[in-house]
Amino acid sequence: MLALICLALGKPSNISQTPVIRGTYEAEVKIFGSNDTQNKAKMLIDDLVKRYGQNYPGDRTEKGKKFTMGKLLDLPPIERNFYKESQKIASMPQEEVEKLRKENNNIICDDLKEGEKRHVPNPVCKFEDAFQYYPDVMANIRKVGFENPTPIQSQAWPIILQGIDLIGIAQTGTGKTLAYLMPGFIHLDSQPIPRDQRGGPGMLVLAPTRELALQVEAECSKYTYKGIKSICIYGGGDRKGQINMVTKGVDIVIATPGRLNDLQMNNFINLKSITYLVLDEADRMLDMGFEPQIMKILLDVRPDRQTVMTSATWPDGVRRLAKSYLKDPMIVYVGTLDLAAVNTIEQKVVIIPEEEKRAFTRYFIDTLKPKDKVIIFVGKKLTADDLSSDFSLQGIPVQSLHGNREQCDREQALDDFKKGKVRILIATDLASRGLDVQDITHVFNFDFPRNIEEYVHRVGRTGRAGRTGEAVTLVTRNDWRIASELICILERANQAVPEELISMAERFKQFQMKKEIKKDLGRPRGKSWKGF
Ligand code: AMP
């Protein structure tokens, strides 16, 4: 039970690790932390006790735990291993495996299970190596005409198909969606209880934004597998329609955490049947503050499920999430967020006064060629509206994408841009990650982003799938604190660094030094240092 509570809290350190046991089923749990954390923990514990309280038997053997989980939910244990390694892949010499990983975007993998490390399965070379026993999957792949697995797919499939939890560090555009969808289809169709008798969906994909959720849904609906049905649930979409679809019965739910939480709290959806969970773009979900919603959702999902998590980056928050919600995972890194590796993008920086930015942007637009496609990134929703109405008045067709627009307008904007009906999209950072539009030739940073990571994501919207791209970034005096980080990025990617940017970085360094000295001088001496 304590393990379940820790799992739900995601912060095991807030609970005493040595509960006082009274009798067979009772335990006293000490909770540490701020009042807020304590209240939250208490709420979660009460909820868990109410749900699972008296039913937790407590057989600590591996067999016992498996039985317990199934019993806990009155369901048979989950089937997870669907991988039969082909002779060719199994007999590949280790040097060849290493060479293959290196040549495939430098795949790096590791087993994160504590204790003795397991063998990370060899990557597959061809689709048949993973799916030769699943002719319906092969038929789908033939239908869409893909030639070879992408690097993330070649390494992720043998891991996921064996039922092992996976963390995939990969960006959109790497084929990560199919990396979890295909094994998901097989998993869904191979469980002991037939799909129509599970009382709810079997697979849940959580995605940070409506756009990404819709994109995953679009990818999912390209394939037909044994009549599996999917639905996309997102805020701003037709709530009633979504509820109708869910209650009629679906196998895959692709959702943003907010709306799913809403349907879950109101008992419109049963998540207890979920045996395959995907946390897509986990870093982005944390950035957007979705952790509490994810925690609540996962309280209902089967604790013995298989979990796949993707993330473009691997910061502390994502590590913590992985530790709390994945069980003995393996990790696969492909490619890198390092723009130095994306040498097909030319990055230009223009130092400019704030009041000249609009005129320069107009000049930039006038230099575009008819086939060019550009995303203009701005910092505020208001600026996006303002710029787009300015350009529309000047007879320049543009679309805009930001969080204050109605969902249907957002979808229309993206569709117009994807199909090339407009060639200029003015967007906030909503569009900096995840959007898969292959033919963007230019990224134009009208406002510098909040941080350098976002800069990397924005610039990565162009130069996709081996194409060349150009990123133009306007930098004003107000952006001086990012100058030195920007210089590092430019230097690593062998790009020109403007002199003015260098002197801006130096001025900021001087300014900070002066501030530190001032702070030091102002610090009271003597007794206040005591006990420091
Ligand atoms: P994703 O990274 O999942 O957003 O995928 C980016 C794009 O790559 C999507 O349009 C996929 O349909 C496509 N894709 C996925 N797998 C492959 C593959 N093996 N070969 C070629 N394209 C692929």
Counting from 1 in the atom list of ligand 1, the atom nearest the Cα of 172 is 2
Ligand 1, atom 21, residue with closest C-alpha: 146
Instruction: Spell 159-188 as b/e; 16+ CB within 10 A means b.
Output: bbbbbbbbbbbbbbbbbbbbbbbbbbbbbb
Ligand 1, atom 11, residue with closest C-alpha: 175
The CATH code of domain 345-516 reads 3.40.50.300
Q: Tokens in use for 424?
A: 């200029």
Ligand 1 centre to CA of 177 (Å) is: 7
Ligand 1 pocket, residue 171 CB under 6 Å: no
Helix, coil or strand: residue 364: helix
The domain locations on the chain are 4-72, 87-333, 345-516
Q: Alpha-carbon torsion 361, 365, 367, 369, what sign? A: positive
DSSP character at residue 15: B
Ligand 1 pocket, residue 174 CB under 6 Å: yes
Q: Alpha-carbon torsion 501, 503, 504, 510, what sign? A: positive
Q: Are 253 and 260 in contact (CB under 8 A)?
A: yes
Counting from 1 in the atom list of ligand 1, the atom nearest the Cα of 176 is 3
Ligand 1, atom 14, residue with closest C-alpha: 175
Amino acid at site 92:
M
Amino acid at site 280:
D
Nearest to 469 by CA among 441, 509, 499, 428: 441
Query: What are the DSSP calls for 205-223, one per residue?
Result: EE-SSHHHHHHHHHHHTT-
**How far apart are the C-alpha atoms of 253 and 255, rounded to whole Å?**
6
Burial environment of residue 364 by CB neighbours within 10 A (0 to 12, 13 to 18, 19 or more): middle
Ligand 1 pocket, residue 383 CB under 6 Å: no
Domains 87-333 and 345-516 share a fold: yes
Encode the chain (532 residues) as per-residue pLDDT tens digits.
444 444 444 444 444 444 444 334 455 677 777 777 777 777 677 655 554 443 333 344 555 455 445 545 567 889 999 999 999 999 999 999 999 988 887 788 999 998 888 999 999 999 999 999 999 999 999 999 998 999 999 999 999 999 999 999 987 778 899 999 999 999 999 999 988 888 899 999 999 999 899 999 999 999 999 999 999 999 887 889 999 988 888 999 999 999 999 999 999 999 999 999 999 999 989 988 999 999 999 999 999 999 999 998 788 889 999 999 999 999 998 865 455 545 678 999 999 999 999 999 999 999 999 999 999 999 999 999 999 999 999 999 999 999 888 888 988 999 999 999 999 999 998 877 667 788 899 999 999 998 887 888 888 888 766 677 899 999 999 999 999 989 988 887 889 999 999 999 999 999 888 888 877 777 655 444 443 3
Three-class SS of 67-110: HHHHHHCCCCCCCCCCCCCCHHHHCCCHHHHHHHHHHCCCCEEE
**How far apart are the C-alpha atoms of 324 and 9, rounded to whole Å?**
8
What was the pLDDT predicted at 39?
A: 73
**How far apart are the C-alpha atoms of 385 and 401, rounded to whole Å?**
9
What was the pLDDT predicted at 3?
A: 43
Counting from 1 in the atom list of ligand 1, the atom nearest the Cα of 174 is 2
**How far apart are the C-alpha atoms of 396 and 390, rounded to whole Å?**
9
Dmax (CA) of the chain: 79
User: Residue 311 pairs with which residues in a beta bridge?
Assistant: 169
Ligand 1 pocket, residue 173 CB under 6 Å: yes
Evaluate whether the domain defined by 87-333 bears CATH number 2.60.120.460: no
Ligand 1 centre to CA of 217 (Å) is: 13
Ligand 1, atom 9, residue with closest C-alpha: 175
Counting from 1 in the atom list of ligand 1, the atom nearest the Cα of 153 is 19
Ligand 1 pocket, residue 409 CB under 6 Å: no
Task: Say what the alpha-carbon torsion angle 39, 41, 47, 49 is, to the nearest 10 degrees.
Answer: -120
Ligand 1 centre to CA of 174 (Å) is: 6
In sequence order, what E strands does 112-251 have? Answer: 166-169, 203-206, 230-233
Q: Alpha-carbon torsion 200, 204, 207, 213, what sign? A: negative
Q: Are 195 and 157 in contact (CB under 8 A)?
A: no
Angle at the Cα of 232 (from 230 to 236), degrees rounded to 5? 160
Counting from 1 in the atom list of ligand 1, the atom nearest the Cα of 215 is 4
Ligand 1 pocket, residue 436 CB under 6 Å: yes
The reported pTM is 0.65
